Amino acid sequence: MNRFTLVATGTLLSLAACQSSDNNKNQLTRQQAQTYLDSYNKTYQDLIYKDNLAQWTLNTRIVKGDTLSQQLADAADKVLAEYTGSKANIDSAQKYLQLKDQLTPLQLRQFEVILFNAGNNPATAGDIVTRRISATNKQLSALYGFKFTLDGKPVTTGHIDEILESSDNLQERRKAWTASKEVGKTLKDGLDSLQYLRNASVTPLGYKDYFDYNAREYGMGEDEVIKLTRQFVTEIWPLYRELHTWARYTLAERYKQPVPDYIPADWLPNRWGQDWSSLVDVKGLSIDSVLKVHGAEWMAHQSEEFYKSLGFDPLPPVFWEKSSLYPVPADSPFTKNNHASAWHMDLANDVRSLESITPTTDYWSTVLHEFGHIYYYMSYSRPEIPVILRSGANRGFHEAFGTMMGLASLQKPFLENLNLIPKNTTTNDTLKLLKEALSYVVSLPWSSGVMTEFEYNLYAKKLPKDQYNQAWWKLVKQFQGIVPPVERGEEYCDAATKTHINDDPAQYYDYSIASVLVFQFHKHIADSILHQDPHATNYWGNKAVGDFLKKVMSPGASIDWRQQLKDDLHTDMSAKPMVAYFSVLMDYLKKVNAGKKYTLPEQPVFE
């Protein structure tokens, strides 16, 4: 063996020894990291379960004057916050993230989530976190414990909604709409306090403000989120402009009034103007009468049957035993949160839904929506997915799958399959598209525009309390083309009448992201799996649809959502599939609106 061979052999042995040493070091780091992660996940799961149990009671049994539920919720929130925001967990997460090259991808994602969780509750914020928790629960109690009145008599929000959806009496409508906004007066000071406390909770770990903090969960900065949501508004604006013009003339005729340049808020069938779909009645597709015969319980159990038909498992017994699915009686000594929601109590098997199911066409899709969340929970609640990664690929994914099921549940072949409408029912398909657009398209300027821009101003730009209502109505006019029916001074806080401003803050763009994803995923299912017209699909009983949904849902947050979109849909996020879905309607509206006055600009205005 010559000298060169000896040198080369020595070099190779040296490299091998280095690689072996590096591998051993990496293996040891991964083992130590995993020991820490196992402990964190176990403790986190225990604490989140206790917290959710306290919140469940706070939301399902609200008794005026009773502060015990709020105190228990405060205490559970505080314990969870102290753990997730502890200096020990922050230090550990930061230490391991500096060693990210030695971690597995799954470990790395967990440490990123741990540090994000800490960002909202850092111990370095002192008593700010405790004060924020208490202020949030106090705000929630004030919102859901509020007693609405109409003509001096107690009234439910459901009755207010019924008036706005069906009454042609403008005086009655104005009274109902005005009554729905009274709760805002009681929430304004609390929102001002929460603005400060939420911002102060997240800045110690380097976030700009509370809006920026929530954006980071998407792997985006606040400016990127605003750019994305404005992109959605821009993409959908020409169609929204046509719908706005159609609605102005239609409503003026309905109420026998001159055509307004902007729509008075009390003319619309929704308290916030976020859904106009009840302006259109599609003959043959209303299933109210059939559902009233079947009843609310049938609706709930039929929703389970739908998911089972796709190949999903039955709901666990705890769902039926512990959920709060039906309205609280009018003479009940307590009230509850009437906003439909799905709960993953222990991030494992305890799944529940909080609803007030009533036998209406709208609630039919709501039930399918909420059950969609439940089955998403169940899909990623498996040993391969760590507890802290048991959530949607991003927050919008959850809403997307629930909303997509709501869309599918109202398409004609689906309804015919369940005998909810007669076979071969003749319908006006253009009118059906119009009804869908008055829900899905109309929601985008509201969610991407009004709600997102208001909370961006509230947290990022520190909007002063004495400008809340002025700023709110400026955005409503700018993005929705809606104006208040009466003077709304700064004694009001009309933004805070929307529950999310109080108890699900700075995340409302999740709904617009979800709406966009709905049409992206629905197009894929219709085109590539069902081979059906996207406007007339029937998901029921198709195991291939179920397999696709399981494939997309089962990873939870263990993989990057952008990569998941590219892998499963071969595209980025865009509202263009929604625009394409309504292309026939766009042509129709242009003909109907020909010669009429347009009052919204040709392109949206961003300030």
Strand partners, 342: 353
461 and 526 fall within a common domain: yes
Give the amino acid at 82.
Answer: E
Do 576 and 515 sit in the same domain of this protein? Answer: yes
Kindly state the average pLDDT of the residues 576-590.
97
pLDDT for 327 beyond 80: yes
Domain boundary among 125, 142, 164: 125
CB 580 within 8 A of CB 520: no
Q: What is the pLDDT of residue 492?
A: 98
Whether residue 214 is found in the same domain as residue 298? no
Look at residue 341 and give its three-state secondary structure.
strand
**Average predicted confidence (pLDDT) for the chain:** 93
Quick: pLDDT tens for 149-198: 999 999 989 899 999 999 999 999 999 999 999 999 999 999 999 999 99
Q: What share of the chain in percent tops pLDDT 70? A: 96
CA distance 134 to 74: 6
CA distances from 210 to 132, 207, 255, 405, 504 (A): 12, 7, 43, 31, 12
Instruction: Determine whether the annotation assigns residue 398 to a binding site.
Output: no
425, 447, 471 - which closes a domain: 425
pLDDT tens per residue, range 127-157: 998 899 899 989 988 998 899 999 999 998 9
Residue 467: inside a domain: yes
Task: Tell me what pLDDT residue 3 has.
Answer: 45
Sign of CA dihedral 118, 122, 123, 124: positive
Asked if residue 274 is part of any domain, the answer here is yes
Residue 13 lies in a domain: no
Burial letters 520-537, b for 16+ CB under 10 A, else e: bbbbbbbeebbebebeeb
- Same domain, yes or no, for 56 and 78? yes
Domain match, 253 and 291 both: no
Tell me, yes or no, whether 15 lies in a domain. no
Active site residue 370: yes
| Structure-model confidence comparison of residues 196 and 10, the more confident one | 196
CATH number at 502 reads 1.10.1370.10
User: Between 128-144 and 188-202, two packed helices, what is the crossing angle to 10 degrees?
Assistant: 150
Q: Could you tell me the pLDDT band of residue 8, with boundaries at 50, 70 and 90?
A: low
Which of these is catalytic: 159, 294, 500, 535?
Answer: 500
Residue 12 inside a domain? The answer is no
The pLDDT confidence band at residue 6, using thresholds 50, 70 and 90, is: very low
The residue assigned the tokens 């043959």 is: 284
Helix (H) / strand (E) element for 353: namely strand 351-354
The C-alpha R_g of the chain, in whole angstroms, comes to 26
399 is in an annotated binding site: yes
Looking at residue 567, what is its pLDDT?
Answer: 92
Is 222 known to be catalytic? no
Question: From the candidates 222, 242, 304, 370, which is the catalytic residue?
Answer: 370
Q: Which residues is 153 bridged to in the sheet? A: 150
**Exposed/middle/buried for 492, CB within 10 Å: 0-12, 13-18, 19+?**
buried
Q: Are residues 199 and 243 in the same domain?
A: yes
Q: Are 337 and 302 in contact (CB under 8 A)?
A: no
321 and 274 assigned to the same domain: no
Where in the sequence is the domain holding 567, given as residue range(s)?
134-282+428-540+551-606
Q: Say whether both 171 and 76 belong to one domain.
A: no
| pTM for this prediction | 0.88
Q: Annotation-wise, does 369 bind a ligand?
A: yes
**How many structural domains does the chain have?**
3
Residue 302 lies in a domain: yes
- Quick one: 459 and 595 in the same domain? yes
Q: Is 373 annotated as a binding residue?
A: yes
Please check whether residue 107 is in contact with residue 41, taking contact to mean a CB–CB distance below 8 angstroms: no
pLDDT tens per residue, range 446-499: 999 999 999 999 999 999 999 999 999 999 999 999 999 999 999 999 999 999
Domain boundary among 394, 425, 456: 425
- Same domain assignment for residues 313 and 444: no
Handedness of CA 275, 281, 287, 290 (dihedral sign): positive
| Residue 4 clears pLDDT 50, i.e. is over it | no
438 & 572 share domain: yes
Q: Are 521 and 378 within one domain?
A: no
Contact 539, 310 (CB under 8 A): yes
